[in-house]
Amino acid sequence: MASAPRPQPCFGGDSLTLQAPNPRLVLASQSSARSALLRDAGLTFEAKAARVDEDAIKASARAEGLDASEAALLLAEAKAMRIARTEPDALVIGADQMLVCDGAWFDKPADRQAATVQLRALRGRTHELVCAVTCHRHGGRVWQHVARPRLTMREFSDRFLDAYLDAEGDAVLGSVGAYRLEGPGLHLFAKVEGEFGAILGLPMLALLGFLRGHGVLMT
């Protein structure tokens, strides 16, 4: 028996739109930076917090000898799976980011003192922001991707660092690097290599390419 033809996405209408009405997009994250990237690209989506034990997943990855890319994918996968359980028909986007410098993994700083220690450790050195994204639909993963932007911090003074932390306040605690490249954190750097979206936590060019191939966006 022949299978029923797959419904084709419908674009357009009374106003120009690049996105089909189905499937719905759900971002498995409450990250304001990731939401802003999707929103600025003109996508319609819903953001839902995916509560997973990130520390436990990282510890397991370390114990298994996984590298940062594999660990970031595990985290992104766990987030997407958590939301996809209750959103089987939606296209769920999970993402995570890890900072790696000379083989060491860095986490979000717990307080200003931790941010100071972390930024001094990164000062004058090059690190990678390993950014993983995965998409789930109908109970399984349909796509994944890892980007690795490289960023080099300049040799800033301790006086500058204190002034920077005063200016940013608690905002540095929400970033794995203790900086916001879209804000005053840009002053920390001498060189940045990689897609801006991936640096902020979501590799948009790769994601948009997948969405076009999946019939979600107009080709």
Q: What is the pLDDT of residues 141-187, one digit of tens each?
A: 999 999 999 999 999 999 999 999 999 999 999 999 999 999 999 99
SS3 state at 141:
strand
Active-site annotation holds for 89: no
CATH code, domain carrying 124: 3.90.950.10
**149, 174 Cβ separation under 8 angstroms:** no
pLDDT at 87 over 50: yes
**165, 179 Cβ separation under 8 angstroms:** no
Tell me, what's the pLDDT at 12?
46
Residue 50: φ, ψ to 5°: -110, 105
Tell me, what's the pLDDT at 2?
42
CA angle 166, 167, 168 (to 5 degrees): 95
- The stretches of the chain forming alpha helices (DSSP H) are 32-40, 54-63, 68-84, 112-122, 158-168, 196-200, 204-213
Residue 53: φ, ψ to 5°: -85, 90
Q: Is residue 219 part of a domain?
A: no
Tell me, what's the pLDDT at 17?
81
35-44 average pLDDT score = 96
Tell me, what's the pLDDT at 15?
43
Which listed residue (67, 96, 111, 170) is catalytic?
A: 96
Q: Is residue 133 part of a domain?
A: yes
Q: Is residue 8 part of a domain?
A: no
How many domains is the chain partitioned into structurally?
1
Instruction: Report pLDDT digits (tens) over 7-34.
Output: 445 454 444 588 999 999 999 998 999 9
51-69 average pLDDT score = 94
Q: Is residue 129 part of a domain?
A: yes
Q: Is residue 207 part of a domain?
A: yes
pLDDT at 124 over 50: yes
Pick from 40, 104, 42: which is nearest to 68 by CA? Answer: 104
Q: Is residue 1 part of a domain?
A: no
Q: Is residue 185 part of a domain?
A: yes
Q: Is residue 52 part of a domain?
A: yes
Q: How far apart are CA 71 and CA 74, in angstroms?
A: 5
Mean pLDDT of the chain: 92
pLDDT at 56 over 80: yes
Domain that includes residue 125, residue range? 25-213
Tell me, what's the pLDDT at 16?
54
